[in-house]
Amino acid sequence: MCDLRFNIDVSNSGRGLAEDIFFGAELTLPDGGSFDFHMEVPHDWRSWRGPRQFTMMSKAFPPLPPGSDIRILVLRLAIPFPVADDVVVALTCGSRNGPGAARTIFLPSTILAPAVEHYTHPYGTQAQKGSGDQLHEGAIKECLK
């Protein structure tokens, strides 16, 4: 299994307080893949979870003032090796009386499979591994743009 982690941050770029934050994700994972999430902010959240999606809504999250930025959770994906299918994570977030935001992360198997193989390969030294790190990190960063 390959363990991928995404830090999920929210920010308030508006002029008012962001209250009653909600967050949702729909995931398309290869067969045998799974997901979990860890709350970074230990406030009271109401959540719903299905086999490939989850939704959370704050019950007592402090309002976010304009210009603030905070990590709310870490999303962990367990991807079986070898990687056979694409990974798609569709995210939505917003607050009461504010505009919502959406972002889709698409990691094609043609990029993810060689990266997973590289990072799980037992290289003898860091120097042997180094050039591959740059290649795969660059390809994954391009997917996240």
The tens digit of pLDDT for each residue in 127-137 reads: 888 888 888 88
Let me know if residue 130 belongs to a domain: no
Q: What is the mean pLDDT of the chain?
A: 85
- In this prediction, residue 88 carries a pLDDT of 94
- In this prediction, residue 41 carries a pLDDT of 64
- In this prediction, residue 86 carries a pLDDT of 93
Task: Out of 24-38, 41-55, 69-83, 93-107, pick the least confident.
Answer: 41-55
- In this prediction, residue 104 carries a pLDDT of 93
d(CA 114, CA 102): 28
Domain ranges, residue 80? 2-108
Q: Is 62 or 104 the better-scoring residue by pLDDT?
A: 104
Backbone torsions φ then ψ of 136, nearest 5 degrees: -75, -40
d(CA 106, CA 86): 7
d(CA 112, CA 60): 38
Please name every residue paired with 26 in a beta bridge, in sequence order, or none if there are none.
53, 90
CA dihedral 40→42→47→52, nearest 10 degrees, is: 20
Let me know if residue 127 belongs to a domain: no
Rounded to two decimals, the pTM is: 0.79
CATH number of the domain that residue 60 is part of: 2.60.40.740
Let me know if residue 125 belongs to a domain: no
Let me know if residue 129 belongs to a domain: no
Number of domains making up the chain: 1
Let me know if residue 48 belongs to a domain: yes
Let me know if residue 118 belongs to a domain: no
Helix (H, G, I), strand (E, B) or coil at 22: strand
Let me know if residue 45 belongs to a domain: yes
